Structure 1
């Protein structure tokens, strides 16, 4: 992804020219008025609140903004900066905004409606075209010209940037919508259809990024656990342009080599005659390093009419061959390495499966999934977990590159700071996976992020977020789950006013960190938006623990937000509870609904000391309220 830094005057002029070409914004000759890039044709401005519009001009220039019959004015300061505030407006449009001074700038097709910033990492970034449930149907129906997206350029910077490097507002058409955030689009669709207003989305996210990358230097220096790592990035002797240039070269070489068919074929390691002297025996699943080559031979007496190869979820850059014929090229968005093999590709006797796998994320490809490594040959099913030969010396090691987008402040500086005053209805946020390794710190970190953004926007913007989905192979009990702990840290953040949480605990995928059910995520976020931002009396939260009491060896748990009552989605009993005995060891527990409570017990635990619900990487969950919203995970450390 492009990373933009300080530009010369020539580059600045080129950027301005490109801006005009892409946005269609009309400037007169010798125009000096340059609005911030986010202010361009087709934009949506937030209704019902003061809307600041800002930019640059020649120093000490009188500037006016004409909007309908109203004219608002300002004067640029000694540095050429100006800002004009438009008073609250009702929803509507289209309008034309005209900026006048030494020249004139006209911005067309402007609407007032609801504007949301869609932030976070890859589950918010995930595009409609990246295979979600019913993605083709959704894209084909995406004809909503009053739903508009502004894709904030994915960039890094060690210091705050005055403006974005680019970006245009795009109306919703099938062609455009394919590249929209799936969660944000489905959320916007509900806002648009239910409130009958234009909706603008600031699509502002980057896969794999931690929360600290999206925060200001000042906010992070106030957190003891992040102070040192933030200060390390602000040493005066760091030559950032040189560091970034080297890193970009490494990244480009790495991505070329991982995705290059020519490099994959050049070694010949997919061919029968390739010598595997020095290769090691391996079983799968397994983590490797650099570019991993794997070969597995098998013999057949008779070629079957049908054959199916299952390699699990590769989700990385992979090439797959059968008998020297390339059958698939996978990347990180691939969901399942499941292949139907034509009979003519197989032969009686010796056959060969060859894999070339790399990982663009951290140079450590992971190959295979438990119980998802097999080859179906007619009625014969061959286990492929063993019998592999492996080498990562076929090709030179791939270069490491530093992911600066993970560094504290680097995304705030380039993607938040330049738009920090743009009028918002609120924020929708899907992030946390990148912070699981430091889950105990997340409550303070995430709370500080929300306060930081509210300070930047100078108002208490509603902040709605997604509680992480279930992920990883199920283990029960798993009282020390880091994923469960991070979800708990997210729940605790609800103590901040003006926040709402949509849990995805029941719609995860054990083998894919990117669950493809984005519809329920968007619907639950919208439910919380109606409650938090629009002030509606709606049941938008799942059953939430509020109190407990002991009755002998039974724990009786009381819930709020149950609607017309608690219910289970399947079976008769409630799943997902674990109880600790007097020694602190956790056991699976029985549970049943009784009114607005759940009774939890284990006959072998005579004196329960602690209790947890849905506390695992991938927990069992079947407790819901009458709105079909799942109960929130929780822990009681002392019964």
Structure 2
């Protein structure tokens, strides 16, 4: 009878082990899956999890790489020189097998910020026409759900990558989609959009710890990172506190290879003034550290005019901070003073926003040197008697009044700092500003009001950014 007992014990032991063996499988982060777009021209990590010690073989375009799961089960392989195109398969063989289908290789952009970035194609102008025309199988989109977390995560649940069709495009980030349309038309390569955005959010939750640490003006946050994000007694993470969205919505994307980021945010930080520039420095530097790319392109949208409650110069101070962020290398700003709606914080014309961001990317990232990619940006001023002569960068084919009317929203001030409406005239590539009420002008400003929609532009149809100088 003893042999029978021994055999029974072995059978029980084997039976108890079977579920664990059956559960062993290759697992992937949600950012890696069917229909994804991999970044061309860069090192491309593919990673996931398996049993510790398990070898995992990944094959793309006939090239195989092998990695071994570490003590935490994580494995990673890196591909280089992937061929641009679509209809690739990615085969992954570890303790189980996975085949990812319809994988493309092209350009990948992170689309982040608050509601104007999250704003969908469905809610933009001409939505029905845009949906009907959306047969673009080379444009793909993945939406990252709202996921504030207490600590940095290595994965975030999502519905995965979608191919652009009339049925799917309606829920895409509109700014990102129209950005992608313009890139795809010029580059003729697949475009991948990672929509990690959340309406109403501040900039601080999106910023990694390293970003705060690099900006002295944000020392009060950097010195107290252990206390962030804030968590309620019930365990709910405050999604508006520093680190919350970095932890849950950015960290899980790393190290997925991307070309760069586009950003539309600032409404919730509009009281920051020039401090917003410091916070942009922290965000940009932080993300560049995450992706180990100190030159990663970062293009953003200057807020549109809007009738906020409170002081009417609060918004212009944020415009000023956003303009100052252009001093950060490899950044660009789409100005929107002419395509907003002072009665709607969510202007529905996202087509032109995406187009203007794409101009920056095409010119600065993709080498299309012939493009005029920005409207006039203040360069310098010179006082000449009772006039101020203004010079601009990005005059393009010449300065112009967008609507053919006299130039609007210029003001000058004398020694007393009291601004008066000014007459402004285009003289070659300069603007000459004067006021009969200010015989000895010292300073000048353009569009210094939250509802201002100044008409100075270049002949290429791109508007000038508000500014002040001489104060």
Query: Do they superpose with TM above 0.5?
Result: yes
Kept in 2, the 8 Å contact 1:439–1:489? The answer is: yes
Pairing 1:164–2:136 present? no
Secondary structure, in 3 states, of the residue corresponding to 1:105?
strand
Q: Give secondary structure in 1 for the equivalent of 2:424.
A: strand
Rounded to whole Å, the distance in 1 between the matches of 2:212 and 2:228 is 19
Give the Å deviation of 1:234: 3.4
How far, CA to CA, are the matches of 1:461 and 1:232 in structure 2?
28
Equivalents in 1 of 2:98, 2:190: separation in Å?
23
The correspondence for 1:517, drawn from 349, 354, 362, is 349
Structure ID, larger Rg: 1
2:230–2:238 contact (8 Å) kept in structure 1: no
Aligned ranges for residues 309-348 of structure 1 at < 5 Å?
A: none
Given the alignment of the two structures, is residue 569 of structure 1 paired with residue 402 of structure 2, yes or no? yes
Distance 2:54 2:231 in 1: 36
User: Is 1:60 matched up with 2:40?
Assistant: no
**Paired residue for 1:281?**
none
Distance 1:199 1:237 in 2: 33
CA contact (8 A) 1:158 1:233 kept: no
Question: In the alignment, what sits opposite 1:552?
Answer: 385
Query: Who is 1:20 aligned against?
Result: none
Q: Which residue of 1 aligns with 2:73?
A: 80
Displacement of 1:223: 4.4
Residue 405 of structure 1 aligns to a residue whose secondary structure is: coil
Is contact 1:573-1:593 (8 Å) kept?
Answer: no
1:149 aligns with 2:141: yes
Q: How does 1:331-480 map to 2 (within 5 A)?
A: 404-459=238-293, 460-472=295-307
Q: C-alpha distance in 2, partners of 1:153/1:635?
A: 40
Post-superposition offset of 1:408 = 0.8
Tell me the equivalent position of 1:489.
321
Indicate yes or no: 2:36 matched with 1:39: no
Task: Name the SS of the counterpart of 1:95 in structure 2.
Answer: strand
Equivalent residue number for residue 49 of structure 1: 42
For the residue of structure 2 that corresponds to 1:49, the secondary structure is coil
Deviation at 1:81, TM superposition (A): 1.2
**What is the match of residue 134 of structure 1?**
126
- Looking at structure 2, the residues matched to 190 and 236 of structure 1 have their Cα atoms a distance apart, in angstroms, of 39
User: What runs of 5+ residues in structure 2 fail to find an aligned partner?
Assistant: 1-20
SS of residue in 2 equivalent to 1:549: strand
The whole-number CA distance in structure 2 between the counterparts of 1:223 and 1:525 is 26
Assess, with a 3 A threshold, how the Cα gap between structure 1 residues 229 and 473 changes in structure 2: closer, same or farther: closer
Give the direction of change, closer, same or farther, for the CA distance of 1:550–1:35 in structure 2 (3 Å limit).
same
In the aligned structure 1, how far is the partner of 2:425 from the partner of 2:198? 42
Q: Which residue of 1 aligns with 2:412?
A: 579
Rounded Cα–Cα distance in structure 1 between residues aligned with 2:458 and 2:83: 36
Among candidates 534, 537, 541, match of residue 374 of structure 2: 541
Q: TM-score, normalization: structure 2?
A: 0.91
Do the aligned partners of 1:149 and 1:201 also contact (CA within 8 Å) in 2? yes
C-alpha displacement of 1:534: 0.3
Equivalenced residues, count: 449
TM-score (norm 1): 0.67
Contact 2:174/2:350 (<8 A) preserved? yes
RMSD of Structure 2 on Structure 1 (CA): 2.2
Q: Secondary structure of 2:177's match? A: helix
Query: Residue 39 of structure 1 contacts residue 53 of structure 1 at CA under 8 Å; is this kept in 2?
Result: yes
Give the aligned partner of residue 422 of structure 2: 589
Q: Is the 8 A contact 2:229 2:243 kept in 1?
A: no
CA separation in 2, counterparts of 1:58 and 1:609?
71
The CA distance in 1 between the partners of 2:22 and 2:185, in whole Å, is 41
The whole-number CA distance in structure 2 between the counterparts of 1:473 and 1:433 is 10
Q: Extract structure 1 runs of 4+ deviating beyond 4 A.
A: 28-31, 221-233, 235-241
